[in-house]
Structure formats: structure tokens, C-alpha cells
Amino acid sequence: MLSNRNCHLATLLLLFFTVNFSSFAFAKDVKLYQVSSGVLKFDKGWLTAMKDVGKILEFPVAMYIIDHPRGLVVYDTGMNVAVSDGKCDSYWGSGLCSAFLPIQRRDEVIDKWLEKFGYKVSDVKYVIYSHMHLDHAGNMEMFPDAIHVLQKAELKAAWWPEKFQRAAFVLKDFDGTRNFNFLEIEGDFDLFNDGKIKIIETIGHTQGHQSLMVKLKNTGTLFLAGDAIYTSDNEAGVIPGITWNTYESMKSIDRLKMLRDSHQGEIWYSHGIDQYNQHKHDAAYD
């Protein structure tokens, strides 16, 4: 039989290992996967006003899966599964499909990417959207149990867009989400209050556009621009072709560049062909 002293020592050791193993679990590094919801084929002039107008290219549609110790996060859900495998006209309509032709296989939809890396749709705790355009929030309805994180202004713009913005918001993408759990924010927001995943307000492309700062142990600090910066041309000063407010867009580009420099990080574009092709997409950045 253990003496009182030995019982006390055993209790302290048990407490020590319990606390330390618990701390170890929460100290797990953040992992990030960059994937694409296929490509969009269209005139580059839509991205770079007055530059390369008439040049038809295929642009990646970047999405991100971020594994944080406190929950799985998705940043943007890409184009709706219904446009996969050449079925665009029946969902977007011929007008949109002729202007922005989506080329997406079924296995490039966000649920299939999650499966590829060992996750399920139901594992996703938070879905963060850069904005609610058709190539960024297309599969919102796949995540009924997640918390959906948007700027309050973006929700208003998507549900009741100004006339000149209507085409890029496809109401069918989110008309069944009115009772979803939305976290409506205004401005910057630290998702887990640990500096690892921070939402950065970058309005301009839309009224409520937001980018994402992600701190990784080995890769460093990444700024996932969304459509605040389409390509390296925009970062270099070329005005974005599609934008709600040009002045605010240029301010947001400058803000991301200053944050990048202060954190010695990198900016990852939403539709940058060359940059996307240089990244890995079959394994995590950590």
C-alpha cells in the first residue's frame, strides 16, 4: 500500500503529465493546403484594367484548407459543384458562362479536396469567405453545421447587390443559408485570438471583401489576398478590372503590401497563374 507521501507524489506526477500532454496537443502546428476549384477561362482585362485586354487565359480559382489545433478552417469554397464537368449553362446561364467559362472537374470541388487530405465536410468548424462572388462562395450550402465568417457589409451586398454588381453574385449559391450560423464581423478579426489566423478587412473589390493572414511555423506568414489582389500585376500597381470601388481597392492593395513587409511574409493571389503553378497542392505547408 502506498504511503500518504507516495500518494501525494503520484498525484502530482499525474497532474504534471496531464497538463503537459494537454499543452502539447494544443501546441500542434498549423497546416495549410492551397488547392484550386478548377480554372476560369476569360479575358485578362477583367483583372488588369487597360492591360492585356483581349488576352484569353485560364486562371486558377484558389481555395485553402487550414488545420488549426482548435478547429478545421476553409477559406473560400470555389465554384458551385453544379458547374462541374461542362454543366455551366444549366446553373450560371449562358451569359455568365460565355464571359467566365468555368473548367472544373467534380474531383476539384472543395468536398473532394477535403477527402483527399483525410477530412470530412462535417469536420470543418469555420468557413471564411473573401467575398460572396460565384467563384468564392459557390459551395456555402455544403457546410450547414459550420460557422460562416463574413463581413456584415458583404452579406448585405450579396443579398441585395447594386445593379452593376448583380451578375457576380449567384443567389442560388446561398439562397438556402438564411438560417446558417453566420459570424458577422466588421473590420479585422483574430479568429482564435492567438495570432495564427487573422482576418484582414480589404474592401474595394466588394463592399465587404476580406483577406486572411496565416502564420505558419516553417513557411512563415502568408497573406491570402482573395480578390483584393488578383495577380502580380495588381501588386505592382495595375488597377483591378472588376472592382466595386477603385480607390478602396488600391488602398487595400497598399495595406496588404505594408503588412507583408512588416511581417516579412508573402502575398498569395487568388488568380495568379504563374505563382499558383509554383506552389505545391498535394501536401501541406506548415
Instruction: Kindly list the averaged pLDDT for each block of 10 residues, start to end, along the chain of length 286.
Output: 52 46 58 98 94 95 98 98 96 94 97 98 98 98 98 96 92 95 98 98 98 98 98 96 96 98 97 97 97
Cell reading at 274: 504563374
* Domain boundaries defined on the chain: 29-278
In this predicted structure, what is the pLDDT of residue 50? 87
Please give the distance of CA 69 from its chain centroid, rounded to a whole number: 18
Say what the pLDDT of residue 2 is. 47
Inter-residue contact 219 to 285 (CB < 8 Å):
yes
Lookup: cell for 28? 500542434
**Can you name the residues that pair with 56 across neighbouring β-strands?**
43
Residues in the chain: 286
Cα–Cα distance for residue pair 216/96, rounded to 1 Å:
37
Q: Which residue has the cell 479585422?
A: 188
Helices (H) and strands (E) in the chain, counts: 7, 12
Tell me how far CA of residue 179 lies from CA of 144, 146, 205, in angstroms. Answer: 9, 12, 26
Return the pLDDT at 5.
55
- Write out the three cell numbers for 162: 447594386
Residue 240 and residue 58 in contact, taking contact as beta carbons nearer than 8 Å: no
Q: Which tens digit of pLDDT belongs to each residue from 132-146? A: 999 999 999 999 999
13: its cell numbers: 506526477
Element (H, E) at 22: helix 4-26
Res 77: pLDDT: 98
**Distance in angstroms (rounded) separating the CA atoms of residues 238 and 233:** 5
Per-residue pLDDT at 26: 46
Torsion of CA 229, 151, 208, 201, to 10 degrees: -40
DSSP state letter for 137: B
Instruction: Report whether 11 contacts 263 (CB < 8 A).
Output: no
Q: The whole model's pTM is what?
A: 0.89
Beta strand 124-128 with 147-151 is: parallel
CATH code for the structural domain at 29-278: 3.60.15.10
Rounded Cα distance, 247 and 105, in Å = 36
pLDDT, residue 153, reads 98
Residue 183 CA: distances (Å) to CA of 2, 59, 65, 150, 212: 53, 30, 19, 6, 15
CA gap 126, 237 in Å, rounded: 33
**Residue 206 phi, psi dihedral angles, 5° rounding:** -135, 175
